[in-house]
Amino acid sequence: MTGTTKNLDLSSFLVLKLKSYSELLKVRLSFLVAFSSGFGYILGSHGVMDWSIFIAFCVGGFLISGGAITINQILEKDYDKVMKRTMGRPLPTNRVSKLEASIYAATLLFIGFSILFITTNTLTVLISMLSMLLYSFVYTPLKRVGPIAVFVGAIPGALPPLLGWVAATGHISYEALIIFGIQFIWQFPHFWAIAWLADDDYKKAGFKLLPAGGKKDMRTAINIMIYTLFLLPLGLLPAKFGLAGINSAIIATVCGVLFLAQTFSLMRDNSRKSALKIMYGSFLYLPIVQIAYLVDKI
């Protein structure tokens, strides 16, 4: 084997490893966590921001999210092997070993928490640790127990904006609870739409996430509709309590009504197509509404 061939083999190996580590991190999901955290930070800063601290905080949140997600994949390696949507992940395909993934997760978490410790405050670090522990070691095993997992998972899923507020202000206030509450309720139609779409795969792994008996039927569709309906009054609270203005309230209401309309289609036909629309609607609802609050505040 020539030196050039060895270099190419080493280069290919490194590229494959980097790609695998990027997959473990779930860049898009971790970015959304950082985005929601940044949203809360900007709202909490009331226009007085240290951009270097803001960027460091978002990077720290991104890394902690990636570490927690990696732990989730380590714990679920055997379950991921049997599901079509996850069998190609780095751990089930042995592109990354459990030891490598564990070292990677520990490194991400150490750097992430260190950044938060240096740039924010103790309360932010403690809540971040709680979020990581709930997601990795409570929500993950509960997925095989029942839909209570969705309630537990919604807590760390909704903590990023609250964390941003706490990082900027140093305390938890009613404003922080409002932005936490919106994202908390949003988690339910979001999770259940995904669970509806992945139900056959989830059953292979023993995951039980759908509510109301765990079936793709009218009862589950009604649950999705009810939680989506709650977003309408919740979306008005930032304007009511001075977090944002009337323009964002109008946008939140319009988005909420459009999101809710999609749930009626699911109630009518219980179809995969309708569940897919709800999932995409959930992906659009949260960033649009959060950006509207930010623009209105600025």
Q: What is the pTM of this model?
A: 0.93
Six-digit token string for 59: 């990077």
Q: What is the pLDDT of residues 258-269, one digit of tens each?
A: 999 999 999 999
Please compute, for residue 275, the number of CA atoms within 13 A of its CA located in the half-sphere on the CB side. Answer: 21
Higher pLDDT, 50 or 104: 104
CA gap 53, 72 in Å, rounded: 28
Q: What 8-state DSSP symbol labels residue 198?
A: T
* Dist CA 108 CA 66 (whole Å): 7
* Residues recorded for the chain: 298
Per-residue pLDDT tens digits for 73-129: 999 999 999 999 999 999 999 999 999 999 999 999 999 999 999 999 999 999 999
* pLDDT band, residue 46 (cuts 50/70/90): confident
Give the amino acid at 254: V
Averaged pLDDT, 36-55: 91
Would you state the pLDDT for residue 162? 97
Q: Return the CATH fold of 20-172.
A: Tetracycline Repressor; domain 2 (1.10.357)
Average pLDDT, the chain: 93
Residue spans of the domains in the chain: they are 20-172, 173-298
Task: Give the Å distances, CA to CA, from 241 to 221, 224, 251, 286.
Answer: 32, 27, 17, 19
Nearest to 243 by CA among 179, 182, 180: 179
Neighbours of 97 (CB within 10 A): 11
pLDDT, residue 7, reads 56
Contact (CB, 8 A) for 113 and 129: yes
The answer to whether residue 3 scores a pLDDT higher than 70 is no
- At residue 4, does pLDDT exceed 80? no
